[in-house]
Structure 1
Amino acid sequence: MTAAQAVVFLSIFVLCMACGFAALMILDRSRRVRRARLARAGMNRAAAHQNMRKLLWDQGSVVKPVAGDRRRSGLPGLLDERLAKAGLGLSPRALALLVLMANLGFVLVAAFAFGVNALLAIPLGIALSWLLVSGALSVLQARRIRSVIDSLPECLDVFARGLRAGKPIPEALDLVAQNAGGVAQAEFRTCCDEMRLGVTLPGALGGLASRIDTPEVRYIAVATSLQAETGGNLVETLDNLASLLRERHKLRKKAAALTAETRMSAAILSALPFVVGAVIYVMNPTYLAPLAQDPRGRVLALAGMASIAGGIFTMYRMARIDV
């Protein structure tokens, strides 16, 4: 494949992705605005009640889920949940359109540039596109959760100070929404808006715990809801949790410093095959031509890419320490 052909196929792929994004924005703009308005207005009360009931039931409470509550099930429900946790206002249809356009670009490049059979390229493209989209959603969700967890100790301090001043729990949560920043501010503000419009405290906190699906937020939701009903020293509980989160943050920073050399080595080793391949292609373009022109070379190239991907995944998993 010549440089001109590579530019043409890359342009086709970029054009397909651009068309997909344009169609996605046109078709989903009004729906995103409507969803954002409904979310801010707290119209998902039934879901919030159901989330809190399920949460309390999982934690061993006597509150049982209501059988009559209906939630979207199947693949659309799963996609809705993942998109909400990632902080995106897209619909499952828009996400499917994006995957379809990415698959179309992959099929065109694989069929015309590498001579891969279209019947093989289509399912391969669907799988690859879904893996990329799923990975992107996981990264966005993890980043959103990390942002909330990092600001959670300060939020708990504000919450505890409000309770010490004699404010009721809804007003103390409103103080958190006013003084927090970033993702945490948006989540606590949504929680307060739901309570202003009639959602109960357990329902609003259950919605918060379902959007930020971490043990810390679930613990805050359950402890606050139970102690609001039965009484208890909620301030001491919040202070202990804030202290624990700060200690975990220090330990996480220490682990990151200790594994910095390992992560740098993993990054260098991950980039090395691609850098060497680019240098060889620049110095002698015909040297790597059999990998694209010969059927056996294509098989070897795909096997090599799979092996490299497996090695990169293994190195980064070994370098990561969960705290």
Structure 2
Amino acid sequence: MTVVRGATVVRGVTVARGATASRAERRRLLTAISQLPEMLDVLARELRAGRNLHEAIQTASTLPSLHSLGLDTLVTRFASGERLVEALDRWASALNHPDGDLVRAVVSLGSVTGGALAGSMERAALTLRERAGLVDEVRVLTAQTRASAMLLFVAPIGFLVLLLMLDPASSAAVFTTGLGQLCVVLGLVLDVVGFVWMRWLVASVTR
């Protein structure tokens, strides 16, 4: 019995540590995604200053504000002789986010075709900021909609309780007659259906 309990405790601790590590990794990735526009701005600025792409990435990798992006791994791969496009593929795959794929596409295409890479990076940074702003706006609107759904769900029930408290004699007919009971049941069903429907609408928008 002691061995079983010990194994259960160990398993619980392991699961808890795994969940904590997963949350920490998720926070790190979200931080990295939010730093992508700044990364592109830094690279564009370095390119306009006359540095090549490898030097620009090396400079960006030393900035504390971009630490979560893991650019030092790119620099290490460059130093080991790995091609830029391949290193960017590995880096973007680790981010596993559409914004990372956009950065990879812009930088890789510019490194292969040449041209005004700094301008492309600045436009991509603007696109990422606009996208992040839109995501934040949707998040706020969905939070407001969830709050409205909860209010609309609770309000009829609260009104019924208030009615029972203020005028119990008159409102007793609601529960003592067949028609009153039918109205209460129908009202509760419609209330639940409306709440579930609004939640479904919010979920369909945020998917």
Q: Taking structure 2 as the reference length, what is the TM-score of the superposition? A: 0.60
Alignment partner, residue 181 of structure 1: 66
Tell me which of 109, 124, 143 is aligned to 1:260. 143
**Equivalents in 2 of 1:165, 1:156: separation in Å?**
14
Written as runs of structure 1 = structure 2, the 5 A alignment for 1:2-13 is: 12=5
Contact 2:37 2:129 in 1 (8 A): yes
**CA-atom RMSD, angstroms?**
3.8
Alignment partner, residue 110 of structure 2: 227
Alignment partner, residue 176 of structure 2: none
Structure whose residues are more often helix by fraction: 2
Contact 2:106 2:124 in 1 (8 A): no
- Provide, for residues 156-193 of structure 1, a one-character-per-residue CA deviation record: whole Å limited to 9, x for no partner: 11111011111111110112211233421xx2111111
Alignment partner, residue 161 of structure 2: none
* CA gap 1:17/1:201 in 2 versus in 1, 3 angstroms: farther
What's the offset of the Cα at 1:248? Answer: 1.6
* CA gap 1:156/1:17 in 2 versus in 1, 3 angstroms: farther
Matched, 1:247 2:123: no
Contact 2:41 2:122 in 1 (8 A): yes
Structure 1 unpaired stretches of 5+: 1-10, 25-97, 103-132, 269-310
Alignment partner, residue 165 of structure 1: 49
**Equivalents in 2 of 1:227, 1:178: separation in Å?**
22
Structure 2 unpaired stretches of 5+: 152-194
* CA gap 1:237/1:257 in 2 versus in 1, 3 angstroms: same
Q: Taking structure 1 as the reference length, what is the TM-score of the superposition? A: 0.41
* CA gap 1:236/1:253 in 2 versus in 1, 3 angstroms: same
Written as runs of structure 1 = structure 2, the 5 A alignment for 1:1-323 is: 12=5, 15-20=6-11, 143-179=27-63, 180-184=65-69, 187-264=70-147, 315=199, 318-319=202-203, 321-322=205-206
- Provide, for residues 89-108 of structure 1, a one-character-per-residue CA deviation record: whole Å limited to 9, x for no partner: xxxxxxxxx6xxx9xxxxxx
Structure 1 residues 253-262 or 195-204, which shifts more?
A: 253-262
**Equivalents in 1 of 2:27, 2:205: separation in Å?**
16
In our comparison, the structure showing a higher alpha carbon Rg is 2
**Equivalents in 1 of 2:8, 2:38: separation in Å?**
41
Contact 1:263 1:319 in 2 (8 A): no
Instruction: Determine what percentage of the aligned residue pairs are the same residue.
Output: 30
Contact 1:266 1:316 in 2 (8 A): no
Aligned AA (1:234): L
